Chain A
Amino acid sequence: MQDVISVENVWKVFGRNVALRNVSIKVSKGSVFLLMGPNGSGKSTLLKIVTGLIKPTRGHAEVFGANPWKERPKIFASVGAMFEDHAPPDWASGKAYLEYKSILKKAENPEKEALAVARQFGVDTFWKQPFGTYSSGMKRKLALADAFINDPDLVILDDPTVALDKEARLALQEIVVNRAKQDKTCVIASHIITEFEHHATHLAFLNLGQTIITGKVEEVMDKMGIRQVTIKTNKPRKAAAILMKKGYAIKVYGNTIIVEGSEDADKIVKLLENLGIKAKTEKPKVNLWEMYTKALTSG
């Protein structure tokens, strides 16, 4: 797959503080890339380098083959982004701001584009008020709408779900999933993201400014020694009982059974089918929290 973002051996130093140490990541086209790490791990700094807001002290970053620091206006024709403390001027209304941003992102019809993105997140219900009067959730919705102006090929979201209500979280989740189907890329950074754990295709864990591990979800799980088989069955209780009897460690989520510590999916499916239980393997069910904890403790 083609790399949309390529970061190679990037360092960023602020005075005596080293924010990033030799970080390298690649983001493929059409992927849902989760960038995770605790506070101060360098996620936002990395994303600011990728969006051309800050210059790396050392190393190289490319977005769509262009240097973001030098060619930021060019790359933003196909990139949308939001950061944690998004802040239009207090006097601006959400409507005026989104229309202005649509102009800055070279939308063909700025007013129409602003309305379209506002509707996606329910911003149009309050967007005539000035930004200074918004609650933190409303501000966050406006920031999200801003990021999706012009339906960009790449969207970069820094902690997008903080302060969002359930409806907006679901709307965001749906948009991200639909975009992935259209081969559009999403990079989402957070210290923990449960909304996207089942939709992520790629992962990177950062800690103390360093990449602990990065790659496709399956690769990361493999590198971390997380071996599991995910099986969908019509008789989960019976299947679970059989597998437990055979000595497998399992977790049951509705009709899905995760068999931990095993890689032999065919053998397990065959075992269940021989006993009259319909079963098929599924894409690994990711437990991000578990992976995140393991990555941080082992890293």
Chain B
Amino acid sequence: MFPKVLKWEFLAGKRFYLVFVLYFLTLFSLGKYTQDIRTVEHKTLDEYDIRPLTPGTMIDIIWKARDVWWFSFPVVIAYAVFTFTYELDKKILRTYLLSCVKKRTLFLAKLLSIQLGLFIPLIISLLIVYPLGDPILFGSNPLEVYVNLPRRLLLVASMLYIMVGISALSSTVFKNPLYAFAAPIAIVYTLNIAGLRVVSEYVPPQCLEIFDPTSSIGLLTNEHFFSSLSMALPAIIASTIALIIAYTVFIRRDVL
């Protein structure tokens, strides 16, 4: 049953994935990526050399983690919250539940379709943007262009996961989409203004602040990559807890 429900949730013509592809494309392309040759200095005690930047780096340098977070989180939360609250609307929910579908199946399918609805456009946009960043390299060695793509995707996916977790909980608690949207936005902004930065502090790409501003995910060593990921862990755990609470409330609540 789950694959069929997921297929309906994901493909039944209600999601404007293209909008998200365009959104991410714009987001990642707004930087000054050009075909100019750029280099980065590598200094160690023993050696000094200047290496050309990898293609992904061209984009990453301009769009450092914090920018991606601040630009994408209101949009992602809005999408997740409004989709979720619409889908959890009691009338719509009731029409689905008057059948053999389990509440659990429905919740998970809706959640996964929202995650995929964000993640797939993200992959598509990165697949487009990287070659655009270095068409010459793409022409000679297409795979080389996508260096570090899985790592970048993993970090951004964890960021999306955190946002969807907040949205799912907010949508389940607040039935009104406006409140459901306003609550996480207000919380995140208030915490940041107050200097607490609890939520965004854990967002993995923000961890890049500790590195040289000219460096990027594309140049990260394994050590730095795992360090970024481990710093994101508390937020991922918090998001998972939020999802579990949302799930529990959803399963136990009456569908009036």
Q: Using a CB–CB distance below 8 Å, which chain A residues touch chain B? A: 48, 51-55, 72-74, 76-77, 80-83, 85-89, 91-92, 96, 100-101, 103-106, 146-147
- The answer for the CA separation of A51 and B254 in the assembled complex, in Å, is 11
B102 A73 Cβ-Cβ under 8 A: yes
- The answer for the CA separation of A72 and B100 in the assembled complex, in Å, is 7
For A91, what are the chain B residues with a Cβ–Cβ distance below 8 Å? Answer: 12-14
| Given contact pairs A54-B255, A54-B256, A88-B92, A81 touches B8 in the complex (Cβ within 8 A) | no
| Given contact pairs A83-B94, A86-B95, A55 touches B254 in the complex (Cβ within 8 A) | yes
A105 B100 Cβ-Cβ under 8 A: yes
B255 A106 Cβ-Cβ under 8 A: no
| Given contact pairs A73-B101, A87-B91, A100-B8, A53 touches B255 in the complex (Cβ within 8 A) | yes
- The answer for the CA separation of A76 and B99 in the assembled complex, in Å, is 5
- The answer for the CA separation of A161 and B1 in the assembled complex, in Å, is 32
* Minimum-distance CB pairs A-B, first 5: A104-B99, A87-B91, A54-B254, A53-B255, A91-B14
Q: How far is the CB of A152 from chain B (nearest CB, A)?
A: 11
B19 at the interface (CB under 8 A from A): no
For A72, what are the chain B residues with a Cβ–Cβ distance below 8 Å? Answer: 97
For A83, what are the chain B residues with a Cβ–Cβ distance below 8 Å? Answer: 94, 98
Q: How far is the CB of B79 from chain A (nearest CB, A)?
A: 15
A-B contact pairs, 9 of them (CB 8 A): A51-B98, A53-B98, A53-B255, A87-B95, A88-B92, A91-B13, A101-B95, A103-B8, A104-B99
Q: How many residues of B contact A (CB 8 A)?
A: 24
Q: Using a CB–CB distance below 8 Å, which chain B residues touch chain A? A: 1, 4-5, 8, 12-14, 86-87, 89, 91-92, 94-102, 254-256
With beta carbons under 8 angstroms apart, the residue of A52, A80, A88, A106 that contacts B95 is A88
The total of interchain contacts (Cβ-Cβ below 8 angstroms) comes to 71
B99 A101 Cβ-Cβ under 8 A: yes
For A106, what are the chain B residues with a Cβ–Cβ distance below 8 Å? Answer: 100
Q: Which of B86, B87, B95, B254 has the most CB of A within 10 A?
A: B95
- The answer for the CA separation of A88 and B95 in the assembled complex, in Å, is 6
B256 A48 Cβ-Cβ under 8 A: yes
- The answer for the CA separation of A48 and B14 in the assembled complex, in Å, is 28
- The answer for the CA separation of A219 and B94 in the assembled complex, in Å, is 35
For A146, what are the chain B residues with a Cβ–Cβ distance below 8 Å? Answer: 95, 98
Q: How far is the CB of A129 from chain B (nearest CB, A)?
A: 13
For B255, what are the chain A residues with a Cβ–Cβ distance below 8 Å? Answer: 48, 53-54
| Chain B residue at minimum C-beta to C-beta distance from A105 | B99
For B256, what are the chain A residues with a Cβ–Cβ distance below 8 Å? Answer: 48, 53-54
B91 A86 Cβ-Cβ under 8 A: yes
| Given contact pairs A54-B255, A54-B256, A91-B14, A104 touches B94 in the complex (Cβ within 8 A) | no
